[in-house]
Amino acid sequence: MEKDLKELYHIKRSAGFRSDFESFRSLLSYQARLEMLDKTGALSPSPSLVNLRTRAKADAHRRHSFPDHVDPDFLQRAIRKAQEALKGPKPPKPFVPSLEQLRLAQRARDEEIEERLRPKRKPLPTSLPPEDEAEVDAFFRKRGVVSKIAREQVSHEDISRLRPCQWLNDEIINFYGQLILTRAEESKENPPVNGSRKPLNAHYFSTFFWSKLKGQGYQKARLSKWTKKIDIFSKDVILIPVNHNNAHWTAAAINFRKKRIESYDSMGMERGQVFKLLRQYLDEEHRDKKKKPFDFTGWQDYILPDTPQQENGYDCGVFTCQFLEALSRGEEDFAFTQDNMPYLRRKMVWEIGHAKLRDDP
């Protein structure tokens, strides 16, 4: 089996996979587990997950660890699939017209103009400034409550989840969501600094919103009370972290500006129920607050074709937080990849420790 695993790893490397063998092993184990859960229907959160915080403390190992073995049948299927992909027909060479050089020169000029009008984003750094790196290390050494904001707080046990190879928990994700929400509320009165783009008028629902919606439904979960003081229909975007059966984090958004229900998954799995349940929520919330059905004319279910993908079995929570943060600024795509995860984990520690989001990348 180890021989087969290494064979598949080398095939994937030749197709562009960049991470090391141990990361690949964790990714494959993760894919096998998600496939098993998907086949059994277990990826749908159950009513027993109403209180994820209590469940996580009682059964913490399930939320943060996975089996390190892969079913031989799954591995053989993966090898065959990878081999077939490599043997597939190569795309035909493009037709080269006689005036190709002129066309390329024109394209170069167009790209230069485009770059001046809409400069490409600079690549993310690999580390924080030295003084900030030292503060991150200090936050990791701190004991007890590390930081508070509004009703959210994180302890040293929670912050340790941002060390390498760790799953994020509800406390980290909800604290980060509160940072996003606080920035959005403050930006209504304060102009952006350092030439940064003004955040959208965003609202964040905690990780418990999805479990209640999926497990109990709008009426039984009394979700109408979540918005007694908030008109979600006046917002630009509603941001929602989604936990799938304590096995995977994804991000969802109700984008009122674009008329879209959006789902962002760093594993690229099918998430039809996300669209279905959020459409139901929108309609029931509109009937409750506006006393009439929601008008879905022009609305679409949206998945970004080039959503960044993880290459291991533990970074989905970091991807989810970064999806939500970028969406809160109105970004249409994402500047980060798997390569940026070590930097982003430490950046998140700094932000949580200081209870504010950084304005720099």
Please indicate, yes or no, whether residues 137 and 251 belong to a single structural domain of this protein. yes
Taking a C-beta distance cutoff of 8 angstroms, is the pair 226, 209 a contact?
Answer: yes
Structural domain ending residue among the three candidates 87, 114, 147: 87
Distance (Å, rounded) from C-alpha 223 to C-alpha 209? 8
Tokens of 89: 């027909």
pLDDT digit string, tens, across residues 8-65: 888 888 878 889 989 988 888 888 888 777 766 655 554 444 454 554 455 444 444 4
Residue 315 falls inside a structural domain: yes
Q: Of 158, 236, 244, 248, which is the active-site residue?
A: 248
Please say if 354 is a catalytic residue: no
| Residue 286's CATH number | 3.40.395.10
Q: Which one has a higher pLDDT value, 150 or 91? A: 150
Percent of the chain with pLDDT over 90: 61
Tokens of 171: 């406390």
Distance linking the first and last C-alpha atoms of the chain = 42
Please indicate, yes or no, whether residues 169 and 314 belong to a single structural domain of this protein. yes
Structural domain ending residue among the three candidates 35, 65, 87: 87
Please say if 265 is a catalytic residue: yes
Please indicate, yes or no, whether residues 195 and 292 belong to a single structural domain of this protein. yes
pLDDT digit string, tens, across residues 287-296: 999 999 999 9
Question: Can you give the residue range of the structural domain that contains 287?
Answer: 129-354
Task: Inform me whether the pLDDT recorded for 182 exceeds 80.
Answer: yes
pLDDT recorded at residue 171 = 98
Please say if 248 is a catalytic residue: yes
Number of domains forming the structure of the chain:
2
Please indicate, yes or no, whether residues 223 and 158 belong to a single structural domain of this protein. yes
Residue 108 falls inside a structural domain: no
Residue 114 falls inside a structural domain: no
Residue 107 falls inside a structural domain: no
CA–CA–CA angle 234, 236, 240 (5° rounding): 105
Structural domain ending residue among the three candidates 87, 119, 146: 87
Q: Of 316, 333, 354, 359, which is the active-site residue?
A: 316
pLDDT recorded at residue 64 = 42
Please indicate, yes or no, whether residues 18 and 70 belong to a single structural domain of this protein. yes
pLDDT recorded at residue 196 = 55
Residue 269 falls inside a structural domain: yes
pLDDT recorded at residue 32 = 82
Please indicate, yes or no, whether residues 61 and 194 belong to a single structural domain of this protein. no
pLDDT digit string, tens, across residues 190-222: 655 554 567 999 999 999 999 999 999 999 999
* DSSP structure string for 267-313: T----HHHHHHHHHHHHHHHHHHHSS----TT-EEE--TT----SSS
pLDDT recorded at residue 87 = 74
Residue 360 falls inside a structural domain: no
Please indicate, yes or no, whether residues 48 and 140 belong to a single structural domain of this protein. no
Please indicate, yes or no, whether residues 264 and 172 belong to a single structural domain of this protein. yes
Residue 48 falls inside a structural domain: yes
Please indicate, yes or no, whether residues 159 and 274 belong to a single structural domain of this protein. yes
Please indicate, yes or no, whether residues 179 and 299 belong to a single structural domain of this protein. yes
pLDDT digit string, tens, across residues 289-317: 999 999 999 999 999 999 999 999 999 99
Q: Of 158, 170, 236, 265, which is the active-site residue?
A: 265
Please indicate, yes or no, whether residues 138 and 48 belong to a single structural domain of this protein. no
| Residues 6 or more apart in contact with residue 32 via CB below 8 angstroms | 70, 71, 74
- Judged by average pLDDT, the poorest of 42-56, 121-135, 139-153, 241-255 is 42-56
Q: Within its chain, how far is the Cα of 125 from the centroid?
A: 20
- Please tell me the number of Cα atoms within 13 Å of 300 on its side-chain side: 6
Please indicate, yes or no, whether residues 252 and 322 belong to a single structural domain of this protein. yes
Residue 111 falls inside a structural domain: no
Burial 29-68 (b: 16+ CB within 10 A, else e): bbbbbbbebbeeebbebeeebbebeebbeeeeeebbebee
